[in-house]
Amino acid sequence: MSFGPDCFTPMSRLAGTCYYEGIMISQTAISHLVEKLGRSNVLHEKEDLLTLAFDATPGLNLLPDVVVYPTTTDHVLTAMGIAHREGLPLVPRGSGTGLSGGSVPAKGGMVLAMTRMNRILEIDEANLTATAETGVITLDLFNAVAEKGLFYPPDPGSQKISTLGGNVMEDAGGLRGLKYGVTRDYVMALKCVLPDGSIITTGGKSVKDVAGYSFKDLLVGSEGTLGIITEVTVKLIPPPQDKRTFLAYFDDIRVAGEAVSKIIAAKIIPSTMEIMDRATINCVEDYVKIGLPRQMAALLLIEVDGHPAMVAEDAEGVQKILKQVKATEVHVAKDADEAASLAAARRTALSALARVSPTTLLEDATVPRSRLAETFAEIGRLTEKYKLKVGTFGHAGDGNLHPTVLCDERDLDEMERAHAFYDELYEKVLAWGGTVSGEHGIGLAKKEYLARQIGEGGVRVMKRIKHAFDPEGILNPGKIFEDEDLSTRSYKEDGSRVSP
Amino acid sequence: MSFGPDCFTPMSRLAGTCYYEGIMISQTAISHLVEKLGRSNVLHEKEDLLTLAFDATPGLNLLPDVVVYPTTTDHVLTAMGIAHREGLPLVPRGSGTGLSGGSVPAKGGMVLAMTRMNRILEIDEANLTATAETGVITLDLFNAVAEKGLFYPPDPGSQKISTLGGNVMEDAGGLRGLKYGVTRDYVMALKCVLPDGSIITTGGKSVKDVAGYSFKDLLVGSEGTLGIITEVTVKLIPPPQDKRTFLAYFDDIRVAGEAVSKIIAAKIIPSTMEIMDRATINCVEDYVKIGLPRQMAALLLIEVDGHPAMVAEDAEGVQKILKQVKATEVHVAKDADEAASLAAARRTALSALARVSPTTLLEDATVPRSRLAETFAEIGRLTEKYKLKVGTFGHAGDGNLHPTVLCDERDLDEMERAHAFYDELYEKVLAWGGTVSGEHGIGLAKKEYLARQIGEGGVRVMKRIKHAFDPEGILNPGKIFEDEDLSTRSYKEDGSRVSP
């Protein structure tokens, strides 16, 4: 086996691609998979495998040995059995929009692409729930429940492509998180295949459930390392009846941070308070051309929603605060179409930034909201100190920022500076009680930071939990923390495993 | 050692009290505790121990060997160390208002009474959080944040006595759960002493955090079996500006269930929809004497809150549905005082029922809301079948009911019938996708039901998680599931443990 030397370090250290060469799958296992899942659901030619060797995280490209597309929970169980017999890593994957390498097959093995399990099984209007297979596209679910007059709030930036299962495994956030919370807040039940070969359903349509440890809450955000979820039941709520959208521009990004803190402190909870700095504004404007003012230091996209009377009051409150802090300009969207196009422009931020440099290193720093202005100041200071090009955008209302270094992975000196930039930034973020990941997960790219946040003791307990679920270390190995190395595993021709 | 024969079976099988006699604590350990915690924080005379041998669960009365009152996290750590050295169970406890025996020292050992760690450490108005020690009384926290114009929604029935830490450990619900959720939904961070002697803080003031497995969410509802929490940071929200309270009376309790389902299906989410059946109405009226009509089959206490304009609309919508389903009478509270007294009357339900019979067996059956009417019908059928006196009340909006058998533990035939009643009821509840505990936890009293809900496989995984945190089985043994029996443990005079 061989790893590229820098594969499992923070993104800023990742340069080039690397391949894991330690695992091969037996012909017996391939035949078994084909027999059980059907030929079209099993891919093992290199040209097929290449397309599933990465997610949306830059610099990570690791080949699986085989890719299977289960279409039933039983297919997943079959794959789990074969993975155990062969000592093969099993790596679940949605659409691959993840931003920390969570679904990249770090140690080769079998990728379980869940995208063909994409049926919406039920929308239960009496209990306000929806049940869907994990491969359903987030926006498809949103639209299906909207047709029934209901609302599924979580809206990750990638909602047009991302899957519900991927959202659950990373506990994805989104633009509406400030008021409505994140994916975790809507998961009511999970159907899950555990490594020991049992199929469990944890949670249900009851809105309260305290029967033992909450597997459901442990599985949410577990990045495919504890079980493979096949069905998800989510909570729905009545949709907001009204919405008002603003764009506020600022000469100084710290003032934007101050505005956010003041709005919250005034007990106004907008559904959305998104920020873009000057670099991001310019990249977005280059991309979508909707007339954003290029000279501004920052903009806030603010949406208030709910009952029309409350929306009117909140809108007034927000405008008053924006005036108080001396926002340079406040633009009110004239109608729903304009509001939608402003939100869509914000959603392009990452793509827009990614267009302008060979490498885009995106981070997910999150601080208590009261620290926003300081965080912007710190990002500014570090950008200068390390002579980098940085675009920052994100969910300001949640204190969840995506400072993005625009660089070139071939420039090793620049990559080192980028690493130092994040390193120093996270030191402050952690000192302020923040987190190294607000919504992207730890995956492969952020393992080094995790220990700094939760300590070696915390990592130790996580490993023990992992071991409790998956003693063989089959599920998505190498993610969140270093786990048992599978490289010493091998198998016999009959498909049975040789114990190390 | 000796157990009463029926100690660890569902409540309806509990008759009389029993004592665990397998453990004794060494004089060395007592001296060590007194030295570290102070004489007034260590109780070990039998007459002191008697007062901490039970919680609010009927029929459970088990003596600890020693009770300590930590006043700092370091005290908890000291207790953890001594418990390990002595092989002593360590049982955390708040005010003992639990309803499943979670804080009863099932296997003796050291009770850690957290009630002297009751300081509110911070109310952070910028980040909308409060941080308090675990022993703070729930209502004290509510009042303290209310003074700052903020709102901590979870309001378990026992909020005047219960502690925040106890609420977190049982994931307590409350009357406002329907709109505002349960304790879990407000826990942002926990400071926790783990059995391995590490002190961790999991979570923080950042509203989003996906850095590895969510310990926080695993600890919530873990009933003191995984770690001892010493500080809790909770989320606060702006308070509702307005509220309207109704009492609706029904000739047929199933119609009350139907009303609840119809209100939700109409996309109106009241903060509260509480139900009392005829038996409960009568007991409450005997107790508080506020003029409740004794002949009615059921009443619903409904509160809508929020922005005044929304409250007005929701109130109208609720009244329209109550008319549609032909509620017998609808009474609108004329002012806040009357609303408060109606809610207070509902809060007395359990005490009011408990006054009329020697033994009160309370259950915590929870169903998807659409099954409410059927559940009431089933409770009625089973009440007749088993010739019991049953009062039912609870959080109808959450599908969370407390069918309460009023009986006499000395009448063994009646106790058997009570057991059969719950047994058959839970069979239906589980078939309908419900849960055996909505808000009281599994504790000692409901272990038999847990396996029926989540299966032996589920229990097995829970045991593995328990082992990952607490390999020695020190923390609150005998709860949720049967764990390692400590009875073979003993210790030397120097306080060190003799391995079994």
Tens of pLDDT, residue by residue over A154-165, are 999 999 999 999
Residues pairing with B248 in the sheet = B300, B330
Interface of B with A in 187-206 (CB under 8 A): 194, 196, 198, 200, 202, 204-206
Q: Which of A15-24, A258-267, B224-233 has the lowest mean pLDDT?
A: A15-24
Of the candidates B238, B399, B462, which has its C-beta nearest A207's C-beta?
Answer: B399
Interface of A with B in 279-338 (CB under 8 A): 306-310, 313
Residue of B nearest to A205 (CA): B368
**Residues A376, A258: Cα–Cα separation, whole Å:** 10
Q: In what order do the strands lie in the sheet with B359-362?
A: B329-332, B242-250, B298-306, B272-277, B389-395, B400-407, B359-362
Interface of A with B in 36-75 (CB under 8 A): none
Round the average pLDDT of chain A to a whole number and report it: 90
pLDDT digits (tens, 9 = 90+) for B17-28: 444 555 678 899
Q: What is the mean pLDDT of residues B204-225?
A: 93
| Interchain contact, B211 vs A453, CB within 8 Å | yes
| A75 pLDDT above the threshold of 90 | yes
pLDDT digits (tens, 9 = 90+) for B78-108: 999 999 998 999 999 999 999 999 999 999 9
Residue B207's pLDDT is what?
A: 84
Q: Taking CB atoms and an 8 Å cutoff, what residues of chain B touch A173?
A: 208
Q: What is the mean pLDDT of residues A422-438?
A: 95
Round the average pLDDT of chain B to a whole number and report it: 90
Residue A496's pLDDT is what?
A: 43
Q: Where are the beta strands (DSSP E) in B109-193?
A: 110-113, 120-124, 129-133, 187-193
| Interchain contact, A400 vs B462, CB within 8 Å | no
Q: What percent of chain B stands above pLDDT 90?
A: 78
Chain A contact present for B423, CB below 8 A? no
Measure B290 CA to nearest chain A CA, in Å: 31
pLDDT digits (tens, 9 = 90+) for B318-371: 999 999 999 999 999 999 899 998 888 899 999 999 999 999 999 999 999 999
Chain A contact present for B438, CB below 8 A? yes
**Residues B100, B90: Cα–Cα separation, whole Å:** 18
Interface of B with A in 116-175 (CB under 8 A): 124-129, 149-150, 170-171, 173
Q: Taking CB atoms and an 8 Å cutoff, what residues of chain A touch B185?
A: 185
| B4 pLDDT above the threshold of 90 | no
Chain A contact present for B219, CB below 8 A? no
Interface of A with B in 342-381 (CB under 8 A): 366-370
Residue B482's pLDDT is what?
A: 84
pLDDT digits (tens, 9 = 90+) for B356-402: 999 999 999 999 999 999 999 999 999 999 999 999 999 999 999 99
CB distance B92 to B165 below 8 Å: yes
| Interchain contact, B398 vs A207, CB within 8 Å | yes
Interface of A with B in 222-251 (CB under 8 A): 222, 226, 237-238
Of the candidates B171, B458, B464, which has its C-beta nearest A210's C-beta?
Answer: B171
Q: What is the mean pLDDT of residues B456-483?
A: 90
Residue A12's pLDDT is what?
A: 42
Complex-level ipTM: 0.91
Residue B21's pLDDT is what?
A: 56
Best CA proximity match to B256, nearest among B401, B149, B114: B401
pTM greater than 0.90 (yes/no): yes
**Residues B322, B247: Cα–Cα separation, whole Å:** 10
Q: Which of A17-26, A66-75, B292-301 has the lowest mean pLDDT?
A: A17-26
- Residue A23 confidence class, pLDDT cut points 50, 70, 90: low
| Interchain contact, A206 vs B435, CB within 8 Å | yes
Structure tokens at A146: 């909207």
DSSP assignment of A218-264 equals HHTT-TTSS-EEEEEEEE-BPPPSEEEEEEEEESSHHHHHHHHHHHH
Q: Taking CB atoms and an 8 Å cutoff, what residues of chain A touch B130?
A: none
pLDDT: is A369 or B7 the higher one? A369
Interface residue of B124, B208, B216, B426 to substitute, partner A, most A CBs within 10 Å:
B208
- Residue A280 confidence class, pLDDT cut points 50, 70, 90: very high
Residue B46's pLDDT is what?
A: 87
CB distance B429 to B365 below 8 Å: yes
Residue B22's pLDDT is what?
A: 57
Q: What is the mean pLDDT of residues B182-198?
A: 95
Interface residue of A168, A178, A184, A207 to substitute, partner B, most B CBs within 10 Å:
A207
Task: Work out whether strand B272-277 and strand B329-332 pair parallel, antiparallel, or are unpaired.
Answer: unpaired
Interface of B with A in 448-477 (CB under 8 A): 449-450, 453-455, 457-462, 464-465, 467-469
Residue A177's pLDDT is what?
A: 92
Q: What is the mean pLDDT of residues A438-448?
A: 92
Residue B91's pLDDT is what?
A: 97
Residue A457's pLDDT is what?
A: 83
Q: What percent of chain A stands above pLDDT 90?
A: 78
Residue of B nearest to A200 (CA): B458
Residue B313's pLDDT is what?
A: 96
| A368 pLDDT above the threshold of 90 | yes
Q: What percent of chain B stands above pLDDT 70?
A: 92
- Residue B414 confidence class, pLDDT cut points 50, 70, 90: very high
- Residue B484 confidence class, pLDDT cut points 50, 70, 90: low
Alpha helix (H) residue ranges in A39-181: 46-50, 73-86, 138-147, 164-170, 177-180
Q: H or E stretch including B498?
A: strand B497-498
Residue B3's pLDDT is what?
A: 33
